[in-house]
């Protein structure tokens, strides 16, 4: 597996798991021009992101090109315990995809 | 002889099926990315394509965004809702080339409270639409942008 692009902080507090997540990704919108050639840079962005905890979906995002570079998401879900594993799958518009994992603190 | 042709073929077929299944499962399990909605160039079409209707303003949807975004490339927003059984939350920026920014699917057990950062080309109305029990509710806010985040 390629080196992960997701940076995750997940913490348990008050029966909930709070997740902060950032993906290292350029999120090229396909509307920017190459300054030298004047040609449009092809779009390359994260299209889908899904987080699973204990075999259950806890968060799904369908992204458009207007999500900022290095997309950031914060959300909470009920349950979860320290040491649990989050499984995160992303798909790029180019079809590239990967699954990464992170531990809940 | 215990290893005959038939059992070898069976074993190969079974392992092949397993590999195939493990590759295919994540793709199928992913929620569909609504191409027509993300490509739509006006907000009404995008909303119609994604959610199949128009939303009504509701005080139970909170959209937190800055009044003035100094940098349109990174505009922090938070969408919250006190409604029960929220299914999804979406964010639209009216004057962006493609208004639909992002759609969050909120499974049961996850709070209807999500923060993210978006890009804004210019000053525009930002709208959050929450789908709860099949109905659509929204909240909007005008965000001023001093430096655009699209194109360049």
Q: Give the pair of three-digit tokens for residue B78.
A: 């938070």
ipTM for this model: 0.90
Structure tokens at B5: 């042709």
| B41 half-sphere exposure, CB direction, 13 A CA radius | 1
CA-nearest residue to B96 within chain A is A66
**pLDDT 10s digits, B100-110:** 999 999 999 99
CA dist B84 and A103 (Å) reads 29
Indicate the fold that domain A6-103 takes in CATH: Immunoglobulin-like (2.60.40)
Closest to A75 measured CA to CA, from B6, B88, B36, B18: B88
Interface contact B133, partner A, CB < 8 A = no
Q: Taking CB atoms and an 8 Å limit, are B151 and A31 in contact across chains? A: yes
pLDDT value at residue B32: 73
Q: Residue A77: which of B101, B105, B109 has the nearest Cβ?
A: B109
B35-73 confidence digits (pLDDT tens): 889 999 999 999 999 999 889 999 999 999 999 998 889
The answer to whether B80 touches B116, Cβ cutoff 8 Å, is no
pLDDT of residue B23: 47
pLDDT digit string (tens) for A46-66?
A: 999 999 999 999 999 999 999
What confidence tier does B9 reach under pLDDT thresholds 50, 70, 90? low
CB distance A20 to A27 below 8 Å: no
């Amino acid at each position: 597996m390629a080196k992960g692009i997701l940076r995750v902080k997940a913490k348990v507090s008050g029966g909930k798991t709070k997740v902060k997540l950032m993906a290292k990704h350029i999120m090229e919108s396909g509307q920017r021009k190459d300054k030298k050639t004047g040609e449009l840079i092809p779009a390359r962005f994260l299209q889908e992101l899904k987080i699973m905890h204990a075999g259950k979906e806890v968060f799904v995002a369908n992204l458009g090109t207007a999500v900022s570079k290095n997309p950031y998401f914060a959300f909470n879900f009920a349950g979860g315990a320290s040491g649990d594993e989050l499984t995160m799958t992303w798909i790029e518009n180019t079809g590239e995809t990967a699954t990464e994992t992170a531990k809940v603190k | 002889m215990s290893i005959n042709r038939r059992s070898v073929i069976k074993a190969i077929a079974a392992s092949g099926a397993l590999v195939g299944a493990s590759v295919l499962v994540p793709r199928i399990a992913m929620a569909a990315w609504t191409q027509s909605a993300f490509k739509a160039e006006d907000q009404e079409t995008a909303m119609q394509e994604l959610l199949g209707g128009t939303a009504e303003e509701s005080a139970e949807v909170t959209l937190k965004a800055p009044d003035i975004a100094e940098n349109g490339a990174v505009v922090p927003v938070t969408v919250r809702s006190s409604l029960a059984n929220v299914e999804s939350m979406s964010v639209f920026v009216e004057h962006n080339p493609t208004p639909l920014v992002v759609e969050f699917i909120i499974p049961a057990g996850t709070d209807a409270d999500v923060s993210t950062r978006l890009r804004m080309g210019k000053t525009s109305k930002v709208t959050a639409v929450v789908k709860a029990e099949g109905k659509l509710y929204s909240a909007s806010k005008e965000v001023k942008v001093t430096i655009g985040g699209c194109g360049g």
